[in-house]
Amino acid sequence: MSRLLQAVANRDASALSQIAGSYPEKPSQSVVNSEAEHLVDALFRQFRQVFPAAAATNLRTPADESAAKKQWIAAFAENGITTREQLTAGMRWARAKDTPFMPSPGQFIEQCKAGACHAAGLPDADELYRRVMKYCGERGFYECPENYPWENKADYWMITALYSQMQAGNLTESELRQRCSKQLKSMADRITSGEDIPEPRKQIPQLHIPSKPDVAKSHIADIRARFGLRKS
């Protein structure tokens, strides 16, 4: 360290260059997820065949390909893309695309997830949202949720859960759509793991649903204002 300080003080460029050369240019980077790495390696081999423009754009040089792979490996690890079945679903979509260019990681991952839902006999997130809205409009015609004409057992459990969450949390459309995606992933995981989804059955009604903190504070403020109470 004293050598470095002396070189800086003397503005000795030669000494600084020698010191810099004794340190690695970049710290070694560990693989985010070994399974994701294997999947991306296999995927990129297919990409070169399916998307001919990739060799002149995204994968033009070894450095380009290495940088692209790091992005895809991280994206796969963050989004739970870990199986060959998910990859197959994404490639099925990719081969059907009428373009010579590679998709983005986000586009491909979206199709991997949609393919997993399709393989499990589930709708995609948009269709599930539509079914939730349909249930909201028609549930009053039936004595109980179990009497509603569900398309399958999974729909019953997903849609009733989403309806309860929507009512309890006063969810916006975007929030409900996000919950739909989470419900689908959870249900797809259950089905692909071999779990037998139970038949619809009556549930104990939830008589008390806690309010969100901001809603509760608003109610308390209204009560204080109404009765002239001061904050403690």
pLDDT tens readout for residues 98-157: 889 999 998 898 888 777 777 777 888 899 999 999 999 999 999 999 999 999 999 999
Average pLDDT of the segment spanning 45-51: 89
Tokens read off for 168:
């309890």
Predicted confidence (pLDDT) at residue 50 exceeds the cutoff of 50: yes
The per-residue pLDDT for 179 is: 93
Residue 206 has, within 13 A of its CA and on its CB side, a CA count of 10
The per-residue pLDDT for 67 is: 92
Average pLDDT of the segment spanning 153-167: 94
**Contact by Cβ (8 Å): 117, 123:** yes
Q: Which residue has the higher pLDDT, 135 or 10?
A: 135
Convert the pLDDT of each residue in 178-221 to its tens digit: 999 899 988 988 887 778 889 988 765 555 556 667 776 776 77
Query: What's the rounded Cα separation, in Å, for the pair 68 and 40?
Result: 10
Q: Coil, strand or helix: which one is 108?
A: helix
The per-residue pLDDT for 10 is: 56
The per-residue pLDDT for 26 is: 40
Average pLDDT of the segment spanning 37-58: 86
The per-residue pLDDT for 19 is: 44
The per-residue pLDDT for 156 is: 95
Query: What's the rounded Cα separation, in Å, for the pair 130 and 126?
Result: 6
Q: Which residues contact residue 117 at a Cβ distance below 8 angstroms, ignoring those fewer than 6 apart?
A: 123, 124, 184, 188
Q: Quick one: CA torsion of 29, 31, 32, 34, rounded to 10 degrees? A: -170
The mean pLDDT of the chain is: 79
Residue 165 has, within 13 A of its CA and on its CB side, a CA count of 18
